Amino acid sequence: MSDSKVTVAVIGTGDIGRGWAALCVAAGWPVWIFDHEAQAVESASAEIAERARRLVTLDRALYRDVEEGVHSLQVGRSLLQACADAQWIIEAVPEDLIIKQKLFEAVESVAPNARIVTSSSSSLLVKDIAARCRRPDRVAIAHPLNPPELIPLVELIPGPHTDGALLEVLKGWLRALNRIPVTIRKQVPGNVAGRIAAAVWREAIDLVLTGVIDVADLDRAVSVGPALGWAAAGPHLTYHLAAGNRGVTGFLQQLLGTFENLWSGLPTWSKLEPEQQRQLVGAIERAYEGQVEQLRTARDRRLAGILRGLEQARQE
Amino acid sequence: MSDSKVTVAVIGTGDIGRGWAALCVAAGWPVWIFDHEAQAVESASAEIAERARRLVTLDRALYRDVEEGVHSLQVGRSLLQACADAQWIIEAVPEDLIIKQKLFEAVESVAPNARIVTSSSSSLLVKDIAARCRRPDRVAIAHPLNPPELIPLVELIPGPHTDGALLEVLKGWLRALNRIPVTIRKQVPGNVAGRIAAAVWREAIDLVLTGVIDVADLDRAVSVGPALGWAAAGPHLTYHLAAGNRGVTGFLQQLLGTFENLWSGLPTWSKLEPEQQRQLVGAIERAYEGQVEQLRTARDRRLAGILRGLEQARQE
């Protein structure tokens, strides 16, 4: 199953939709794209092809597969045309429940034969998204991070009616795309990655706004410090390995007090006031002035290098 | 300066002290170790040599350097003997202000010629640690993460009296050891890495205890998701690159509301009650049962692979 090509329709051609499409195109899969906004879809094909080809440069895809995928990439003139042959429909429209509900309803009438329909939603509930569907059994959330064609994590959230066998098919497709699906048992706003990212960013903002460290040094410290550790071992495993052979029990005995002190001192604000927004934006823009495109290229190069390094380490 | 070998004395041979020693030994530097607890120092030499040699296997050090360092590794019978020739004294004794103050005072009388004396403290204030010193100008905190011989970040915290020129010498030494020093401007408990780690761990604990995800999946999700992103670009840069060419301004316009919602829902507890500790320990031990040593070896292999991948990406 996971070895054969899957025909995909990506509905919504914003940044996340383009990332999904680039990922599938780079695997040589036939991809249809569609967007209700004619303007959005205009530049989409070219950018998707470019992003897929960049994966060859980054050593994350094979030239032959990418060219095959680019060759079969097509823009649907209607939702019906885009979905007609699709086995997997990926929704990536704006994060608005009504828009998504309507789309999922429309998909039912144009794609009766699609095996799976996934939403890229980061914050809506899968049961709400599928609320108007007669076939909620083939609906799930598959939430990627940015950029979807590079970061392997896909958070998978089945709804109460999602068919378990179909979920396994979906996992096989994701693995065929070199993604790592992780199943969320109980949906909460932000899922797992979003909540952890929110906790980190609040702390990172607070440390800059209170003058503890500047933006570039904060970013560097996280990158070459804790993030490296977590990329090699998640937070729980990190601490399970941090107290010799006594595991997490030994770690808690030694350091729970320190953590409890830190927890009580962490920021708890949940609003970023306009003046703080101005300070933050100013600090970030000063740190990275006018180089967004070069910075993104360098970031992608580092990401690809890390992924190659991890794969080599797993084969050793 | 940074090319020549530095004679180092590491005082305290717990896990962090051994890591510092392994790092310096692996660079071929002459290292003295000392511990007031005779028992602690007993196994230290052998483990330091082993950890330094493991860096060769991991492609993080050269065989010749490591063997030279192992050859010149010595155990001091007294603080005086360990410090007599040292240019750099690294304190890594238990996290207790009185113990550290006494040690820094004692070091003054046995090592009048050492250029720099650093503390590995993660939570004490540098001005308190140096409170009994007549030479606070040569004292700073240089806080590594675990394991110090692999994670490049060293948080550098000068005290109010630290000599700026000496701080530059210290940075040169750290860079010669392939470390990345980042200066903290204003000391707060946990510095930067510790606060961010505390925020992440609380969230990671909460997600497990509330049944959102299990331990192994949480670890996997963080490792192949946000951590990879942050290892390639810190949190501020990540969001600066997440909204096309409009930078962080565009990102805040699109997503500040989502973050404010998430922030208001994040856990704020600062105590882990005994029953929760039991649940957490049980869940972590079930996930990683009886494999601490193999897990650590695999973690180190991944870390080394990531570091190699990053270095290759920087050369591309």
Contact A247 B285 (CB under 8 A): yes
Q: Which tens digit of pLDDT belongs to each residue from A214-269? A: 999 999 999 999 999 999 999 999 999 998 788 999 999 999 999 999 999 999 99
Q: Same domain, yes or no, for A235 and A258?
A: yes
- pLDDT at position A38: 82
C-beta separation of A18 from A51 below 8 A: yes
All residues at 6 or more sequence positions from A304 whose CB lies less than 8 Å from its CB, including other chains:
A58, A59, A60, A150, B313
CB < 8 Å to B272, chain A: 252, 256, 259-260
A216, with CB counted inside 10 A (0-12, 13-18, 19+), is: middle
Q: Same domain, yes or no, for B47 and B139?
A: yes
Segment-wise mean pLDDT, segments of 10 residues, chain A, 316 residues: 80 96 98 91 94 97 98 96 97 95 94 94 93 95 97 97 97 97 95 97 98 98 98 97 90 94 96 97 93 93 96 86
Q: Which tens digit of pLDDT belongs to each residue from B205-242? A: 999 999 999 999 999 999 999 999 999 999 999 999 99
Q: Is residue A55 part of a domain?
A: yes
Q: Same domain, yes or no, for B247 and B289?
A: yes
Q: Is residue A2 part of a domain?
A: no
Q: Same domain, yes or no, for A171 and A254?
A: no
Q: Out of B223, B252, B284, name the one closest to residue A248 (CB).
A: B284
- pLDDT at position B1: 37
Residue finishing a domain among B183, B214, B246: B183
pTM equals: 0.95
Q: Is residue B188 part of a domain?
A: no
- pLDDT at position A3: 56
Q: Out of A180, A194, A248, name the one closest to residue B220 (CB).
A: A180
Q: Which helix (H) or strand (E) holds A51?
A: helix A44-57
In total, the C-beta contacts within 8 angstroms joining chain A to chain B are 404
Closest CA–CA distance from residue B12 to any residue of chain A (Å):
16
In the block, which residue shows the tokens 């998504």?
Answer: A100
Q: Is residue B169 part of a domain?
A: yes
Contact A200 B293 (CB under 8 A): no
Q: Same domain, yes or no, for A167 and A37?
A: yes
Q: Out of A224, A262, A292, name the one closest to residue B245 (CB).
A: A292
Q: Which tens digit of pLDDT belongs to each residue from B60-94? A: 999 999 999 999 999 999 999 999 999 999 999 99
For testing the chain A interface, which of B123, B183, B210, B266 should be mutated: the one with the most A CBs within 10 Å? Answer: B266
- Residue B58: which domain range? 8-183
Backbone torsions φ then ψ of B8, nearest 5 degrees: -120, 140
CATH no. for residue A62?
A: 3.40.50.720
Complex-level ipTM = 0.96
Q: Same domain, yes or no, for A173 and A202?
A: no
Q: Out of A153, A212, A301, name the one closest to residue B188 (CB).
A: A212
Q: Same domain, yes or no, for B102 and B208?
A: no
CA–CA gap between residue A217 and residue A238 (Å, rounded): 23
Closest CA to B194 of A197, A250, A259: A259
Distances (CA, A) of A19 to A13, A77, A103, A302, B199: 9, 20, 20, 18, 30
Contact A261 B123 (CB under 8 A): yes
Q: Same domain, yes or no, for B120 and B32?
A: yes
Q: Same domain, yes or no, for B209 and B139?
A: no
Contact A151 B266 (CB under 8 A): no
Contact B300 A123 (CB under 8 A): no
Residue finishing a domain among B123, B154, B183: B183
Contact A197 B235 (CB under 8 A): yes
Query: Residue B136: pLDDT above 80?
Result: yes
CB < 8 Å to A241, chain B: 292, 295-296, 299
CATH no. for residue B289?
A: 1.10.1040.10
Q: Is residue A1 part of a domain?
A: no
Q: Is residue A188 part of a domain?
A: no
Contact B237 A245 (CB under 8 A): no
Q: Is residue B203 part of a domain?
A: yes
Contact B241 A306 (CB under 8 A): no
Contact A182 B258 (CB under 8 A): no
Q: Same domain, yes or no, for B214 and B264?
A: yes
Q: Is residue B74 part of a domain?
A: yes
The number of folded domains in chain A is: 2
Q: Out of A208, A233, A249, name the one closest to residue B223 (CB).
A: A233
Q: What is the mean pLDDT of chain B?
A: 95
Q: Same domain, yes or no, for B172 and B199?
A: no
Residue finishing a domain among B183, B217, B241: B183
Q: Same domain, yes or no, for B117 and B148?
A: yes
